[in-house]
Structures are given as C-alpha cells and as structure tokens.
Amino acid sequence: MKKIQISPSILSADFSRLGSEIKRLEEGGADMIHVDVMDGHFVPNLTIGPPVIKTLRNYTKLPFDVHLMISPVHKYIKDYADAGADIITIHPEATDNLIESINLIKKLNKKVGVSLNPDTKLNIINNVLSQIDLVLIMSVFPGFGGQKFMPEVVEKIKDLKKIKDEKKLNFDIEVDGGINFTNNKIVIDAGANILVSGTTIFKENNGNIKKNIDFLKLV
C-alpha cells in the first residue's frame, strides 16, 4: 500500500499572507501543496493564476499539486507549468482532446492528473489510466471550500482501486472535498493515498496544522 500523503488546499488559507501560510504547512508536515485554480466559467468561483503561483514558488520546495478547473484548459497548461506547477490535474470535460492535453503536460516534464467530478463516470478515463500519474476524485462539486463530503463517491474510489490493482497500474488516487477526521479512514480504506483538505487543516484544533495533518494521515 502506498504511503498516505496530505495535500493541503490553500483555498482555506489566509490569502493576505499566503507565503507564510505555505511555510506553516511545510513545517506542519504537508507532503505537497494543493492549488485550486478556478476561472468563474468551468466552476462558479475565481481564484488565482500563474503570477501568484510563480511568486509562491519562492516560499517552498514542496511539490505544487495544481488542480486546473478552467475551460478550455489546453491553452493554459504551459503557463501553469512555467509558473512552477509539479503536478497538473485537468478535467476531461474541459479539453477537446484529453490525450493531447495529457501529452502536453508530459512534454513539459510535469506529472499528469485527471479529475472526476462526483457525477463523472470512471469509464471516461479508462483508456488513459496507464498514461497518467494521478486520478483526483472530487467528493464535492468543485467551486468553493468548506462543502460537505459526498459519501456516494466512496464506491467510485473502490472501483478505481480495483481497476488499478487488476491492471497493475501505479497512479495515485487523490480525494478532494469535505475531507475531515470522520471520513478520512473511509476514503483511505476505499483506496485513496492522497487526501486534499483545507478547512480541517487550517481550522481544527485551533489551527494546529501538524496535529491536523497527523490526524488525517491516521498517524
């Protein structure tokens, strides 16, 4: 079984001091930093773009796990790669040609992720699973932090883990949306090895980031 990793979402951080928030996450034991990029079109919210990511890159050597919720995504991939993303995750619905977009991310020497919304079926990515590094299962509809976990996605995680094991593939299974101390074990047992969490990491236990990350990892 792969080691459990935590990718804290800076969507729940204090945006007035993002650099120091990222340093706090690194000191607290984060494995990577999850950056939610939203365009107000593919999802109903606007967040940050390449210039902010480029600036934040100066504050940590941790991998930037960049989730692009923008459409059309293909023409922006290089901008985020150049800004300092290490993992670039895209939605199948946001590109005219998923394989072409995957190949572009690889060509830029970045890890490739594909994200599935709660109502997106697994079979849409069956033919690319051998070509990607990560599948991000959304356990909320993307757009805003602080939403409640949708338990119906647990079966999807289990099904994905089964396909992964049967085909002897090596991609990571990441879950994002409402992850907290009551459902973390459920998604880990289902097959997830990377948990994205924002509100829980920044707000629980009076903002004790190390304690919250350890709790999420089941340490």
Residues with catalytic function:
36, 176
CA distance 28 to 43: 30
Q: Which residues of 156-184 are buried (b: 16+ CB within 10 A; e: fewer)?
A: bbeebbebbeeeeeebbbbbbbbbbeebb
Structure tokens given for 199: 């509100």
Task: State the Cα angle at 55 between 16 and 61, rounded to 5°.
Answer: 105
Q: Give me the DSSP letters along 34-95.
A: EEEEEBSSSSS-B---HHHHHHHGGG--SPEEEEEE-SS-GGGHHHHHHHT-SEEEE-GGG-
